[in-house]
Amino acid sequence: MIQVLVTGANGQLGSEIKLISEETSIYKFYFTDYNELDITNKTAVENFVNKHAIHIIINCAAYTNVDKAEDEWELSNSINHKAVENLATISKEKSIKLIHISTDYVFDGESKTPYLETATTNPINNYGLSKLKGEEALLKINPKNSIIIRTSWLYSVFGSNFVKTMLRLFKEKDLLNVVSDQVGSPTNAKDLASAIFNIIPNLNNDRVEIFHYSNIGTCSWFQFAKEILAFSNETCDIKPVSSKEFKTKAKRPKFSILDTHKIQKVFNIQIPSWEESLHNCLIKINTK
């Protein structure tokens, strides 16, 4: 049986993978998070993959607090860069296939057209820089049959994210200011998890390849919030504001749209629209 290690398994994406894994018996999954397997501990990872004869690693572990990363460079770099370097080295030595997840925040947001996988990277915050360094380390070490999937604006029934924050704030407030000058594509982690299941049997590449995955279609955070409100039973006024008016510790790219044609074509994947996927997630949240 194919043995798969999922790191960061209690996060949004890891939890969605766990849910889908219950429907398949082709793989034996090992779901680990920080407490079971700290990916910054190279020896622990080596011991784990040896003990369980791992064939595939899906690295869902990450430091994802974009604002805090401005003050915690060392920690974010150790998880998003150094640990990925370790995973890549171990994968190369053991011929393990590594699926690593990265982010739209490796780009500066100055583009006027959706970012291709080959577009120039230029992160504007520490989180994006640490994730880019992780990508670069993986590309350099180059374990066979390994890929990087960049995604954007991830949300899920699990964990904390924009969708759940909005649902909470709709209950607490009469008026919400939401940024309208940053555009991107929301991504339901469930869809990305299911894409990963389609990709695994088809990994066959000599050099590490980058792919982009997000739901289809684009919106601003303001439009995203309006759509969440439309599907909730709450009433709340949502006011569009500019990034200048809504200060955050870390700068965000204004334009975060990823071109997803490559992943659709290479792996024959159909990607749902962001609205359809959001509605599916909201139904699940409401019936939880």
Ligand X SMILES: NC(=O)c1ccc[n+]([C@@H]2O[C@H](COP(=O)([O-])OP(=O)(O)OC[C@H]3O[C@@H](n4cnc5c(N)ncnc54)[C@H](OP(=O)(O)O)[C@@H]3O)[C@@H](O)[C@H]2O)c1
- Residues involved in catalysis: 127
Placement of tokens 């975060």 in the chain: 256
Among 29, 45, 64, 258, binds ligand X (CB under 6 A): 64
Residue that is written with structure tokens 């990034």 in the block: 243
Tell whether residue 153 is a contact of ligand X (CB under 6 A): yes
Rounded CA gap, 115 and 107, in Å?
8
CB of 239 to ligand X, least distance (A): 23
Which listed residue (4, 5, 17, 39) binds ligand X by CB under 6 A? 39
Q: Cα–Cα distance between 174 and 163 in angstroms, integer?
A: 17
- Residue 194 within binding range of ligand X, rule CB under 6 A: no
- Give the shortest CB-187-to-ligand X separation in angstroms: 7
- Return the residue matching tokens 């049959």: 145
In whole angstroms, how close is the CB of 279 to ligand X at the nearest point? 19
Residue 150: closest CA among 63, 87, 213, 65: 213
For ligand X, the closer CB: 18 or 144: 18
> Which residues, numbered 81-110, are part of the site for ligand X (CB under 6 A)?
101, 103-104
How many other C-beta atoms can be found within 10 angstroms of the C-beta atom of residue 175?
Answer: 9
* Phi, psi of 52, rounded to the nearest 5 degrees: -105, 10
Task: Note whether 76 binds ligand X by CB under 6 A.
Answer: no
Element spanning 187, H or E: strand 187-188
Structure tokens at 135: 């990508």
| Residue 41 CB neighbours (<10 A) | 13
- Measured from the CB atom, the residue of 34 and 231 that comes closer to ligand X is 34
CA 253 to chain centroid, in Å, comes to 16
CA 62 to chain CA centroid, Å, is 9
**Piece in contact with ligand X (CB under 6 A), picked from 10-18, 196-204, 230-238, 272-280:** 10-18
Q: How far is the CB of 8 from ligand X (least distance, A)?
A: 3
Binding residues for ligand X, rule CB under 6 A, total 26
**Is residue 13 part of the contact set for ligand X (CB under 6 A)?**
yes
**Taking CB under 6 A as the rule, does residue 146 contact ligand X?**
no
Binding region for ligand X (CB under 6 A) out of 17-25, 152-160, 170-178, 196-204: 152-160
Check binding of 34 to ligand X (CB under 6 A). yes
Residue among 145 and 185 whose Cβ is closer to ligand X:
185
- If binding is defined by CB under 6 A, does position 128 make contact with ligand X? no
Question: Least distance to ligand X from the beta carbon of 148, Å?
Answer: 10
Q: In terms of residues, how long is the chain? A: 288
CB count in 10 Å sphere of residue 164: 17
One-letter amino acid at 260 equals T
List all residues 6 or more positions away from 231 whose beta carbon is below 8 Å from its beta carbon: 278, 279, 282
Residues contributing to the site for ligand X (CB under 6 A): 7-8, 10-13, 33-34, 38-40, 60-64, 79, 101, 103-104, 131, 151-154, 159
